[in-house]
Amino acid sequence: MDPRYRLYVALAGLIPALIAIVIVDRLDAKRPEPAGLRWKVTLFGGLSCLPAILIELALTGVANARGYPQLNYPGSAVSAFVIAAMVEEACKISVVYWLVWRRPEFDERMDGIVYASRAGLGFAAVENALYLVTTHNLSDAMQLWILRAVLAVPGHAMWTGAMGYFAARRRFDRWGPGLLGGFAIAVLGHGIYDYAVFVSIPLTIEGYEQWAQLLKAVPPLIIVTFWLMTRRWATTALRLDDADVTRMQAAAPAHAFPMIPPAPGG
């Protein structure tokens, strides 16, 4: 690819994440979180991509030395579930924990989904740009942009959002698997997604290309499944948060809600 276009290709890689950010923010339109804090989480979510890359490179070297390269079936599983899914999900959710978990703004269940999804989308934006600048021509970049826009980018938001949701439910309701359970769910979804992609290499090498082609249906199925679950989690979180607000308003003394004076002539 002409070096003159690489910057534009990288910037184009940010667009899917920005669109997804708008969608996530609309879910929390009733009582939105502070804009500055949301963008801070997004920024650090993007920066978390850098330590994730370093850790993944180190673990890849260890896996290769121990006979688990991505070219064989066990190596594909290690690469998908451990090197990619566990490392990346841990880096993303650590941003939420260190930046907002103890802050007073984190006072609703929906906040867990919003902040975690924001961290995931920051990560996805940087990862997307890095993948796109390595393509060889604009045609390849366009195909990769479309695939990642509808699969990997929302996937990062929803996998991390699952952790945020279950962590918040455990915090406010003492219900559900909590952060560790949410982490397991995120790693499972992320790992299956990546394994379906990675295992196509040894399958193709051994002549099972038809199976490699069939496995291309797995990533879309994972994304649709997590989309449906995320919608349900968001609906539940908003319903419970609204109920809390209603109870607080009912319990508050009358003078906490000053009377609105009648209109002139009313």
**pLDDT (0 to 100) of residue 71:** 93
If you average pLDDT over residues 127-141, what whole number do you get? 92
**Which amino acid appears at position 117 of this protein?**
S
**Which amino acid appears at position 114 of this protein?**
V
Check pLDDT > 90 for residue 162: yes
Domain-wise residue ranges, the chain: 3-238
**pLDDT (0 to 100) of residue 251:** 85
**In residues, how long is the chain?**
266
**pLDDT (0 to 100) of residue 265:** 47
Average model confidence (pLDDT) for the chain?
93
- CB-based contact 89:190 (threshold 8 Å): yes
- CB-based contact 237:113 (threshold 8 Å): yes
**pLDDT (0 to 100) of residue 6:** 82
**pLDDT (0 to 100) of residue 44:** 98
Total-model pTM:
0.92
If you average pLDDT over residues 33-53, what whole number do you get? 97
Instruction: Report pLDDT digits (tens) over 186-236.
Output: 999 999 999 999 999 999 999 999 999 999 999 999 999 999 999 999 999
User: 4 vs 43, 83, 140, 146, CA distance in Å?
Assistant: 26, 33, 16, 21
If you average pLDDT over residues 146-153, what whole number do you get? 96
**pLDDT (0 to 100) of residue 258:** 55
**Token digits for 122?**
């920051």
Instruction: Report pLDDT digits (tens) over 47-96.
Output: 999 999 999 999 999 999 999 999 999 999 999 999 999 999 999 999 99
**pLDDT (0 to 100) of residue 28:** 93
Under the banding of pLDDT at 50, 70 and 90, the label for residue 137 is: confident
* Alpha helical stretches, state H, 28-137: 35-47, 49-65, 73-77, 87-99, 109-133
